[in-house]
Amino acid sequence: ASSCYFPSSCFLSVPLISIQQETANAKIFTFALPKNQSLNLPISSCIMMQGRDAENNVVSKPYNPISFKPGSFSLLIKQYSTGTVSTWAGNLKVGDNVSFCQFKGNLKTFQFPFNGVKKITMACTGTGITPHYQALIPIIQNSSIQVRLIYGNSTFGDIMLRKELIQMS
């Protein structure tokens, strides 16, 4: 198996290439990788994003990419009023460089292709959709696993990846 593009020993910086508003308080951030380079992240795993808090101290938080293809990957980040990394990320601009690493503790042991599994029930709320969404893509494209997704948000407008989930259903 290929190892993740981001090392586990240090943070590596990549440029932000696009920002898309997803909901009133969530955005999809797409980052560039070298041409034809893949993230090589096991399904249902995350990477650590390094940011800054209000006092400019270095802080980090794990995020599950929602898309990774050769040359780029995307993160769905909800900005919380009390969130340090999410608030910092909410102020990013296209062209900014952001650092990531692959923290080995964030590699999940239950990974696609989920051998021997015939049915999966996924229960998630809000931004908890990201690890589930990450797994849904290969499940739908490459397996016969039956999926039941239980998903909740405060309002209809808060549903992240709504169009994509409807299309998958």
pLDDT of residue 152: 86
pLDDT tens digits, one per residue of 1-23: 458 899 988 999 999 999 999 99
pLDDT tens digits, one per residue of 121-142: 999 887 789 988 988 998 888 8
Under a CB-based contact definition with an 8 Å cutoff, are residues 82 and 54 in contact?
Answer: no
Collapse the DSSP code of 66 into the 3-class scheme (helix H, G, I; strand E, B; otherwise coil) and give the result.
strand
In angstroms, the CA 60 to CA 100 distance is: 9
